Chains A and B, each alone.
Chain A
């Protein structure tokens, strides 16, 4: 896998620590806090943030995962034609705690068009009525197509549409780093 390394493991770890601090600062009532990772890479990120928050504040926030596959707005492309590629594998949604009254921080790796976040918010509201929803992302690469903005950002990385940001995490990819990959390369997300 070629591609330019934008953040290495230690920079990624520092970035997450800072986000954890900002979440603690922004949410004095940690009992009401829940971190919900968006499948796939948002889930390990949410786990790491929860651990960091527990280490620093003593309280572990509730943890969940949400899969947005059934909430996508591109299930079939216009006119009912089949999509060019098969839909991604559906992963589990796990929200074992009541959402009502909580502050939910959605966690994802890359914020791009905002469509994933829209779908995640819709999925969340089918499970309950959180008091507020915030958004934490490791990378904001711009090109928003919806009025969505993150509350906690690891890194702003302006990109062109022909590039891809690839976040790799030890839990899934055996290495911690963020890559900038040209679109023509295989393995872009």
Chain B
């Protein structure tokens, strides 16, 4: 009896509510993902990887959809792989690169987003030096928004492609030890990675110069480069000169940095895998011999980027709970 009465009540309440558009799914931060989301994304990426072995590499999945790549910062890997990912899924792509240093953070991004929004894009992929830019785009357009890097905040697709790379190379991510070495302070990759590793049960330790190790991150940190010995994987971060404020002495010099924290063959155990999100400063944070060694996963990471970004585009458009919480955050921001 009560089971029959329940839907009637709900019907009345739904009638009283103003009609609400269905929530759009975004990928703005790894913090919005659950472990299930991550596993679904990696599984979808594996399926797309299979499709790349075929004679016809293009899939008709997103035919008729428009993906806009809006890049306010320079990028080779991320922008090219998002473009190719969209094309391999038969979507139309529009690539907009802004190279102005005086881009006013609020209004002009909003106006650009509104302009592009007029083309009814299904997905907007955005990279911007300002934290929160993806949320702004999500608020002013009807598109699904994918964050391709916002300031020092997040770079979720990089974290996902690194998880994918590790899963393909070493199998299980649970219980794996990863040392993240270098400029953690300015690194959005490190922030996204730490959250992603926590989701899948990978242990992380941060290694670097004291001024470049933030204290607010939930991982053990040390200035001793010897700590990488215990790690299965050494994840090398780029020295981000463009994010360092003029006059701030985070490290005495790049030479000093590479002497104390540079990853050289002598500092590695045999079999230890080395990753780097690119672009690499050879001779600074990573020795050229390490970058070119068979234990380096750098080119594998680039290959993973394509299939993971295909999976992300597919996932934001086809459902799954990605970014429902991100949307709520965008509404607050």
Contacts and interface: CB of A to CB of B under 8 A. Distances in A.
B136 interface: no
A125 B60 CA distance: 12
B59 interface: yes
A72 B40 CA distance: 18
B55 A70 contact: no
A76 B89 CA distance: 14
Interface stretch (B166-174, B219-227, B312-320): B312-320
Contact of A92 (B22, B50, B58, B142): B50
Interface residues of A, number: 24
B61 interface: yes
A76 B317 contact: yes
Contacts of A92: 47, 50
Contacts, number: 68
A125 B58 CA distance: 12
B60 A80 contact: no
Interface stretch (A50-58, A81-89, A133-141): A81-89
A93 B51 CA distance: 9
B61 A76 contact: no
B178 to A, nearest CB: 28
B318 A87 contact: yes
Task: Name the residue in A71, A82, A85, A91 with the highest tally of chain B Cβ atoms < 10 Å from its Cβ.
Answer: A82
Dominant secondary structure of chain B at its interface with chain A: loop
Interface residues of B, number: 30
A92 B49 CA distance: 11
A122 interface: yes
A75 interface: yes
Given A76-B317, A87-B318, A71 B59 contact: yes
B44 interface: yes
Interface of A: 67, 69-72, 75-76, 80-83, 85-87, 89-93, 122, 125-128
25 contacts: A69-B47, A70-B47, A70-B48, A70-B59, A70-B89, A70-B314, A71-B59, A75-B61, A75-B318, A80-B120, A82-B24, A83-B319, A86-B318, A86-B320, A87-B319, A87-B320, A89-B40, A92-B47, A92-B50, A93-B47, A125-B56, A126-B56, A126-B58, A127-B55, A127-B56
